[in-house]
Amino acid sequence: MLEFYTNPMSRGQIIRWALEEVGEPYEEHIIAYGPEMKSEPYISINPMGKVPAIRHDGKVVTECAAIITYLAETFPAAGLAPTAEQRADYYRWMFYTAGPVEQATTAKSLGWEPKPDQSAMAGFGSFDAVLKVVDDLLTSRDYVCGDRFTAADIYLGSQIIFGMTFGTLPKLDSFQAYAGRLTARPASQKAKARDDELIAAQQQG
């Protein structure tokens, strides 16, 4: 059994989508922000005291890119892993999202942009540079690995969908077209419906 630790108002939404794409049964554990997330028993699952996390066959996996990659490889029948020809693009863009995309959007959201002489140290260079790379990618192809959806699209797509929703990324034509393809997927819609239900219940309670 897969165990899924999340809060609907978190990056756990990314992993719920991945789990729905996998199609295996899972048990959800909704972890509240504050003491519950920062203390036992959850702190033994993730010492960082943050969600999401999964536990499968007694093993814990944290960090969205790691969880998505693990799920794709552990449940190959779902077709989320890359073919041999797609492997280079798959890993390149999965971890480009985990690195430069996450760093650049977080820095901008916090009101910090590296000065020209700091760009090399920052790693991602600049927000505009990261944006152009992703725009060029999605202008040239429908999905990260070309014409086939993979787990890498769950991660990059989530960043783009969230970014446009909350104003941390611009609504570029390539981003909107890509988001449209992804949000049309039944697994994406099922995952969003569940998290929206949980968010509504939290707000009412």
Residue 9, Cβ density class (10 Å: 0-12 exposed, 13-18 middle, ≥19 buried):
middle
* CB-based contact 188:17 (threshold 8 Å): yes
Residue located via tokens 């993979």: 150
DSSP conformational letter for 146: B
Q: Is there a cis peptide before residue 8, judged by omega within 30 degrees of 0? A: no
Cα 128 to Cα 132: distance, rounded to the nearest angstrom: 6
Cα R_g (the chain), whole angstroms = 17
Pair of tokens at residue 153:
């699209």
Asked whether the beta carbons of 25 and 33 are under 8 A apart, the reply is no
Per-residue pLDDT, 115: 85
Q: Which residues of the chain have pLDDT under 50?
A: none
